[in-house]
A = this chain, B = another copy of it.
Amino acid sequence: MARVDVLKVATAGPNDLGSLKVLARAGYTAADILAVVSKTEGNGCVNDFSRTLADATWADVVSADAITVFSGGTEGVLSPHVNLIVRAEHHPAAGRPGAAVAATGSTRPIAAHELGRAPQMDLVRATTEALVARLGLRPDEVHLALVKCPLLTSADVAACRASGNEPVTTDTIASMGRSRAAAALGVALALGECTESEAGAALAMEGADVYSSVASASSGAELANCKIMVLGSSPRVHGTLRAAHQVMRDAIDAEAVTSLLAQVRAEGGVVVQAFAKAGPDPRGQIRGWRHTMLTDSDISATRHARAAVGGLLAGLLGDPAVYVSGGAEYQGPPGGGSLTVMYRIHE
Protein backbone atom coordinates (compact mmCIF):
# COMPACT_ATOMS: atom_id res chain seq x y z
CA MET A 1 0.00 0.00 0.00
CA ALA A 2 3.05 2.14 -0.48
CA ARG A 3 3.07 4.11 2.77
CA VAL A 4 6.43 5.78 3.24
CA ASP A 5 8.47 7.35 5.95
CA VAL A 6 11.27 9.86 5.51
CA LEU A 7 14.52 10.20 7.43
CA LYS A 8 16.63 13.33 6.97
CA VAL A 9 20.28 13.00 7.94
CA ALA A 10 23.29 15.31 7.60
CA THR A 11 26.19 14.05 5.51
CA ALA A 12 29.86 14.72 6.11
CA GLY A 13 30.51 14.29 2.38
CA PRO A 14 29.02 12.74 -0.75
CA ASN A 15 30.39 9.35 0.27
CA ASP A 16 29.02 9.41 3.80
CA LEU A 17 26.83 6.41 4.62
CA GLY A 18 26.33 7.40 8.24
CA SER A 19 22.61 7.75 7.57
CA LEU A 20 22.39 3.96 7.54
CA LYS A 21 22.87 4.02 11.30
CA VAL A 22 19.95 6.39 11.65
CA LEU A 23 17.99 4.09 9.40
CA ALA A 24 18.75 1.11 11.61
CA ARG A 25 17.89 3.01 14.78
CA ALA A 26 14.53 3.84 13.21
CA GLY A 27 13.87 0.15 12.67
CA TYR A 28 14.51 -0.03 8.95
CA THR A 29 17.04 -1.82 6.79
CA ALA A 30 18.65 -0.77 3.53
CA ALA A 31 16.20 -3.05 1.75
CA ASP A 32 13.39 -0.78 2.92
CA ILE A 33 14.83 2.20 1.08
CA LEU A 34 12.65 3.25 -1.79
CA ALA A 35 14.60 6.34 -2.72
CA VAL A 36 17.73 8.18 -1.67
CA VAL A 37 17.12 11.86 -2.35
CA SER A 38 20.14 13.92 -1.46
CA LYS A 39 21.78 17.29 -1.79
CA THR A 40 25.47 16.91 -2.50
CA GLU A 41 27.98 19.71 -2.38
CA GLY A 42 29.30 19.96 -5.94
CA ASN A 43 28.51 22.73 -8.40
CA GLY A 44 25.27 21.10 -9.50
CA CYS A 45 26.33 21.55 -13.10
CA VAL A 46 27.99 19.41 -15.75
CA ASN A 47 31.21 18.49 -13.97
CA ASP A 48 29.73 17.79 -10.56
CA PHE A 49 31.56 14.71 -9.34
CA SER A 50 29.98 14.92 -5.92
CA ARG A 51 26.90 13.39 -7.54
CA THR A 52 28.90 10.63 -9.21
CA LEU A 53 30.72 9.89 -5.97
CA ALA A 54 27.44 9.66 -4.06
CA ASP A 55 26.01 7.48 -6.79
CA ALA A 56 28.95 5.09 -6.61
CA THR A 57 28.72 5.05 -2.82
CA TRP A 58 25.04 4.13 -2.70
CA ALA A 59 24.88 1.86 -5.75
CA ASP A 60 25.45 -1.37 -3.87
CA VAL A 61 23.59 -0.31 -0.76
CA VAL A 62 20.06 0.02 -2.06
CA SER A 63 17.95 -2.63 -3.71
CA ALA A 64 17.64 -2.85 -7.47
CA ASP A 65 14.22 -1.23 -7.62
CA ALA A 66 15.14 1.71 -5.41
CA ILE A 67 16.23 4.95 -7.02
CA THR A 68 18.90 7.44 -6.05
CA VAL A 69 18.60 11.12 -6.80
CA PHE A 70 21.67 13.20 -6.11
CA SER A 71 21.13 16.87 -6.68
CA GLY A 72 24.33 18.90 -6.65
CA GLY A 73 24.68 22.36 -5.24
CA THR A 74 24.49 23.49 -1.61
CA GLU A 75 25.11 27.15 -2.25
CA GLY A 76 24.67 29.70 0.49
CA VAL A 77 23.23 28.24 3.67
CA LEU A 78 22.12 24.94 2.15
CA SER A 79 23.45 21.93 4.02
CA PRO A 80 24.47 18.64 2.40
CA HIS A 81 22.14 15.89 3.57
CA VAL A 82 20.32 12.79 2.54
CA ASN A 83 16.60 12.07 2.62
CA LEU A 84 15.86 8.39 2.88
CA ILE A 85 12.37 7.62 1.63
CA VAL A 86 11.59 4.23 3.10
CA ARG A 87 8.77 1.74 2.70
CA ALA A 88 6.70 1.83 5.88
CA GLU A 89 3.90 -0.56 4.95
CA HIS A 90 4.78 -2.93 7.72
CA HIS A 91 5.24 -0.30 10.36
CA PRO A 92 2.44 0.58 12.78
CA ALA A 93 -0.20 2.60 10.95
CA ALA A 94 -1.36 5.35 13.27
CA GLY A 95 -2.81 8.52 11.85
CA ARG A 96 -5.63 9.46 9.54
CA PRO A 97 -6.20 8.71 5.87
CA GLY A 98 -4.17 10.83 3.48
CA ALA A 99 -0.78 9.40 4.37
CA ALA A 100 2.24 9.94 2.18
CA VAL A 101 2.73 7.21 -0.38
CA ALA A 102 5.41 6.84 -2.99
CA ALA A 103 6.54 4.65 -5.85
CA THR A 104 9.65 4.69 -8.00
CA GLY A 105 10.60 3.61 -11.48
CA SER A 106 13.00 4.23 -14.32
CA THR A 107 12.87 4.73 -18.06
CA ARG A 108 15.14 2.97 -20.50
CA PRO A 109 18.37 4.81 -21.29
CA ILE A 110 17.89 8.07 -23.18
CA ALA A 111 20.03 8.24 -26.31
CA ALA A 112 21.99 11.45 -26.75
CA HIS A 113 19.86 12.56 -29.70
CA GLU A 114 16.67 11.85 -27.73
CA LEU A 115 17.67 14.07 -24.81
CA GLY A 116 15.54 17.17 -24.51
CA ARG A 117 13.24 15.94 -27.22
CA ALA A 118 9.94 14.08 -27.55
CA PRO A 119 11.33 10.61 -26.80
CA GLN A 120 12.63 11.67 -23.40
CA MET A 121 9.40 13.51 -22.62
CA ASP A 122 7.29 10.55 -23.66
CA LEU A 123 9.35 8.07 -21.67
CA VAL A 124 9.05 10.18 -18.52
CA ARG A 125 5.35 10.58 -19.14
CA ALA A 126 4.80 6.83 -19.48
CA THR A 127 6.75 5.95 -16.36
CA THR A 128 5.10 8.69 -14.35
CA GLU A 129 1.65 7.54 -15.47
CA ALA A 130 2.49 4.00 -14.48
CA LEU A 131 3.68 5.08 -11.04
CA VAL A 132 0.60 7.22 -10.44
CA ALA A 133 -1.59 4.32 -11.47
CA ARG A 134 0.32 1.93 -9.26
CA LEU A 135 -0.31 4.23 -6.31
CA GLY A 136 -3.95 4.62 -7.26
CA LEU A 137 -3.76 8.40 -6.99
CA ARG A 138 -5.79 11.09 -8.69
CA PRO A 139 -3.56 13.76 -10.30
CA ASP A 140 -4.43 16.26 -7.57
CA GLU A 141 -3.26 13.80 -4.94
CA VAL A 142 0.27 13.87 -6.36
CA HIS A 143 2.50 16.31 -4.51
CA LEU A 144 5.90 15.61 -6.04
CA ALA A 145 7.20 13.95 -9.18
CA LEU A 146 10.93 13.86 -8.69
CA VAL A 147 12.98 13.05 -11.78
CA LYS A 148 16.71 12.47 -12.10
CA CYS A 149 17.67 12.79 -15.75
CA PRO A 150 20.85 12.71 -17.88
CA LEU A 151 22.81 15.49 -19.60
CA LEU A 152 25.22 15.73 -22.53
CA THR A 153 28.97 15.84 -22.04
CA SER A 154 31.45 16.78 -24.77
CA ALA A 155 31.94 13.07 -25.34
CA ASP A 156 28.19 12.52 -25.67
CA VAL A 157 27.94 15.33 -28.21
CA ALA A 158 30.84 13.94 -30.23
CA ALA A 159 29.46 10.39 -30.14
CA CYS A 160 26.01 11.62 -31.13
CA ARG A 161 27.37 13.44 -34.15
CA ALA A 162 29.60 10.52 -35.07
CA SER A 163 26.46 8.40 -35.22
CA GLY A 164 24.91 10.83 -37.68
CA ASN A 165 22.57 12.61 -35.29
CA GLU A 166 22.52 16.21 -34.12
CA PRO A 167 21.96 16.72 -30.38
CA VAL A 168 19.35 19.22 -29.21
CA THR A 169 22.25 21.45 -28.12
CA THR A 170 26.04 21.22 -28.14
CA ASP A 171 26.35 23.40 -25.06
CA THR A 172 26.87 20.97 -22.19
CA ILE A 173 25.36 23.19 -19.53
CA ALA A 174 22.40 24.07 -21.73
CA SER A 175 21.77 20.34 -22.17
CA MET A 176 20.96 20.15 -18.47
CA GLY A 177 18.08 22.57 -18.92
CA ARG A 178 16.79 20.80 -22.01
CA SER A 179 16.79 17.48 -20.17
CA ARG A 180 14.97 18.96 -17.20
CA ALA A 181 12.46 20.61 -19.54
CA ALA A 182 11.63 17.35 -21.28
CA ALA A 183 11.30 15.56 -17.96
CA ALA A 184 9.05 18.24 -16.48
CA LEU A 185 6.82 18.27 -19.53
CA GLY A 186 6.56 14.49 -19.36
CA VAL A 187 5.31 14.87 -15.81
CA ALA A 188 2.91 17.65 -16.84
CA LEU A 189 1.47 15.39 -19.54
CA ALA A 190 1.15 12.45 -17.18
CA LEU A 191 -0.76 14.57 -14.69
CA GLY A 192 -2.91 16.36 -17.23
CA GLU A 193 -1.34 19.72 -16.52
CA CYS A 194 -1.01 20.56 -20.21
CA THR A 195 -1.96 19.29 -23.64
CA GLU A 196 0.33 17.47 -26.01
CA SER A 197 0.49 20.42 -28.35
CA GLU A 198 1.34 22.74 -25.49
CA ALA A 199 4.03 20.36 -24.34
CA GLY A 200 5.42 20.15 -27.84
CA ALA A 201 5.65 23.91 -28.15
CA ALA A 202 7.24 24.16 -24.72
CA LEU A 203 9.77 21.46 -25.57
CA ALA A 204 10.86 23.52 -28.56
CA MET A 205 11.56 26.28 -26.03
CA GLU A 206 9.02 28.48 -27.71
CA GLY A 207 7.96 29.87 -24.41
CA ALA A 208 4.62 28.12 -24.03
CA ASP A 209 2.94 29.14 -20.80
CA VAL A 210 2.67 25.69 -19.25
CA TYR A 211 4.28 23.94 -16.35
CA SER A 212 3.92 21.17 -13.83
CA SER A 213 3.22 22.23 -10.26
CA VAL A 214 4.81 19.12 -8.77
CA ALA A 215 7.67 18.24 -11.11
CA SER A 216 11.21 18.51 -9.76
CA ALA A 217 13.82 17.45 -12.29
CA SER A 218 17.56 17.35 -11.77
CA SER A 219 20.15 16.57 -14.46
CA GLY A 220 23.39 14.74 -13.98
CA ALA A 221 26.22 12.98 -15.76
CA GLU A 222 25.98 10.02 -13.41
CA LEU A 223 23.12 8.25 -15.20
CA ALA A 224 21.84 7.56 -18.70
CA ASN A 225 18.15 7.00 -18.06
CA CYS A 226 15.49 8.86 -16.08
CA LYS A 227 14.68 7.79 -12.54
CA ILE A 228 11.36 8.89 -11.13
CA MET A 229 9.69 9.02 -7.75
CA VAL A 230 6.01 9.92 -7.47
CA LEU A 231 4.98 11.05 -4.02
CA GLY A 232 1.39 11.73 -3.05
CA SER A 233 -1.23 11.57 -0.35
CA SER A 234 -3.53 8.57 -0.52
CA PRO A 235 -7.06 8.77 0.88
CA ARG A 236 -6.89 5.01 1.28
CA VAL A 237 -3.75 4.91 3.41
CA HIS A 238 -3.48 5.87 7.06
CA GLY A 239 -0.39 7.47 8.49
CA THR A 240 1.11 10.43 10.27
CA LEU A 241 3.45 11.53 7.48
CA ARG A 242 1.77 13.69 4.87
CA ALA A 243 2.68 15.83 1.89
CA ALA A 244 1.39 19.04 0.36
CA HIS A 245 2.54 21.36 -2.37
CA GLN A 246 2.41 24.90 -3.63
CA VAL A 247 3.92 26.85 -6.48
CA MET A 248 6.35 29.67 -5.97
CA ARG A 249 5.48 32.33 -8.53
CA ASP A 250 8.97 33.76 -8.44
CA ALA A 251 12.20 33.27 -6.52
CA ILE A 252 11.16 35.61 -3.71
CA ASP A 253 7.64 34.26 -3.27
CA ALA A 254 7.67 34.09 0.50
CA GLU A 255 3.88 34.04 0.50
CA ALA A 256 3.78 30.65 -1.23
CA VAL A 257 6.02 29.26 1.48
CA THR A 258 4.18 30.83 4.40
CA SER A 259 0.75 29.81 3.08
CA LEU A 260 1.94 26.22 2.72
CA LEU A 261 3.37 26.33 6.23
CA ALA A 262 0.08 27.76 7.50
CA GLN A 263 -1.75 24.83 5.92
CA VAL A 264 0.60 22.42 7.66
CA ARG A 265 0.15 24.17 10.99
CA ALA A 266 -3.61 24.14 10.53
CA GLU A 267 -3.40 20.36 10.43
CA GLY A 268 -1.22 20.31 13.50
CA GLY A 269 1.72 19.25 11.41
CA VAL A 270 5.45 19.78 11.72
CA VAL A 271 7.50 20.02 8.54
CA VAL A 272 10.07 17.28 8.12
CA GLN A 273 11.40 18.34 4.76
CA ALA A 274 10.79 20.80 1.94
CA PHE A 275 11.59 20.22 -1.72
CA ALA A 276 11.83 23.33 -3.89
CA LYS A 277 12.86 24.14 -7.42
CA ALA A 278 14.72 27.34 -8.19
CA GLY A 279 15.71 28.91 -11.47
CA PRO A 280 16.78 32.25 -12.88
CA ASP A 281 13.86 34.19 -14.30
CA PRO A 282 14.52 33.98 -18.05
CA ARG A 283 13.28 37.55 -18.52
CA GLY A 284 16.20 38.86 -16.47
CA GLN A 285 13.95 40.53 -13.93
CA ILE A 286 12.18 39.79 -10.67
CA ARG A 287 9.19 41.98 -9.88
CA GLY A 288 10.50 44.61 -12.24
CA TRP A 289 14.01 44.68 -10.84
CA ARG A 290 16.93 43.41 -12.92
CA HIS A 291 18.76 40.32 -11.71
CA THR A 292 22.23 39.37 -12.87
CA MET A 293 22.10 35.58 -12.75
CA LEU A 294 22.06 35.30 -16.54
CA THR A 295 24.89 37.74 -17.20
CA ASP A 296 27.27 36.41 -14.56
CA SER A 297 29.85 34.41 -16.47
CA ASP A 298 31.62 33.36 -13.26
CA ILE A 299 28.77 31.54 -11.51
CA SER A 300 26.15 29.43 -13.24
CA ALA A 301 22.64 30.83 -13.02
CA THR A 302 21.31 27.73 -11.29
CA ARG A 303 23.86 28.20 -8.50
CA HIS A 304 22.62 31.75 -7.96
CA ALA A 305 19.02 30.57 -7.89
CA ARG A 306 19.62 27.74 -5.45
CA ALA A 307 21.47 30.04 -3.08
CA ALA A 308 18.70 32.63 -3.04
CA VAL A 309 15.72 30.30 -2.75
CA GLY A 310 17.68 28.22 -0.27
CA GLY A 311 18.22 31.30 1.86
CA LEU A 312 14.53 32.15 1.85
CA LEU A 313 13.31 28.63 2.51
CA ALA A 314 15.89 27.91 5.20
CA GLY A 315 15.01 31.15 6.90
CA LEU A 316 11.28 30.53 6.87
CA LEU A 317 11.69 26.96 8.07
CA GLY A 318 14.56 27.68 10.43
CA ASP A 319 16.38 24.79 8.80
CA PRO A 320 19.24 24.90 6.29
CA ALA A 321 18.91 21.24 5.35
CA VAL A 322 16.21 21.77 2.75
CA TYR A 323 16.21 20.20 -0.70
CA VAL A 324 16.51 23.05 -3.19
CA SER A 325 17.26 21.97 -6.73
CA GLY A 326 18.33 24.34 -9.49
CA GLY A 327 16.94 24.77 -12.99
CA ALA A 328 13.17 24.99 -12.93
CA GLU A 329 12.22 24.81 -16.58
CA TYR A 330 8.45 24.02 -16.68
CA GLN A 331 8.62 23.03 -13.01
CA GLY A 332 6.62 26.09 -12.05
CA PRO A 333 6.14 29.38 -13.89
CA PRO A 334 9.20 31.14 -15.37
CA GLY A 335 11.39 32.30 -12.50
CA GLY A 336 9.33 30.35 -9.97
CA GLY A 337 9.25 26.70 -9.01
CA SER A 338 7.41 23.83 -7.46
CA LEU A 339 7.42 23.50 -3.69
CA THR A 340 6.56 20.36 -1.73
CA VAL A 341 6.64 19.72 1.98
CA MET A 342 6.53 16.47 3.89
CA TYR A 343 5.17 16.93 7.41
CA ARG A 344 4.28 14.84 10.39
CA ILE A 345 1.05 15.17 12.33
CA HIS A 346 0.68 14.03 15.90
CA GLU A 347 -2.63 12.88 17.19
Q: Which residues of A line the B interface, CB within 8 A?
A: 10, 12-15, 41-43, 45-50, 52-53, 56-57, 74-81, 153-155, 157-158, 170-174, 221, 251-254, 257, 282-287, 289-300, 303-305, 307-312, 314-316, 318-321
A299 to B10, CA, bound (A): 22
Smallest CB–CB gap between A120 and chain B, Å? Answer: 20
A276 to B275, CA, bound (A): 27
Chain B residues with CB under 8 Å of A253's CB are: 315
**A291 engages B78 (CB within 8 Å):** yes
**A79 engages B49 (CB within 8 Å):** no
Task: Give how many copies assemble into the complex.
Answer: 4
Smallest CB–CB gap between A91 and chain B, Å? Answer: 27
Instruction: Given A52-B53, A282-B170, A315-B253, answer yes or no on A291-B77 (Cβ-Cβ < 8 Å).
Output: yes
CB-defined A-B contacts under 8 Å, sample of 14: A10-B290, A13-B52, A42-B49, A46-B295, A49-B53, A74-B292, A75-B308, A76-B291, A80-B292, A158-B283, A171-B171, A254-B316, A257-B315, A299-B303
Smallest CB–CB gap between A155 and chain B, Å? Answer: 6
Which 9 pairs between the two chains have the least Cβ-Cβ distance? A76-B308, A154-B284, A45-B297, A308-B311, A311-B311, A307-B307, A79-B289, A254-B315, A312-B315
**A290 engages B47 (CB within 8 Å):** no
A158 to B283, CA, bound (A): 6
**B154 engages A290 (CB within 8 Å):** yes
Smallest CB–CB gap between A204 and chain B, Å? Answer: 12
Instruction: Given A158-B284, A304-B75, A308-B307, answer yes or no on A320-B47 (Cβ-Cβ < 8 Å).
Output: no
A318 to B50, CA, bound (A): 32
Residue from the list B10, B43, B318 in contact with A254, Cβ < 8 A: B318
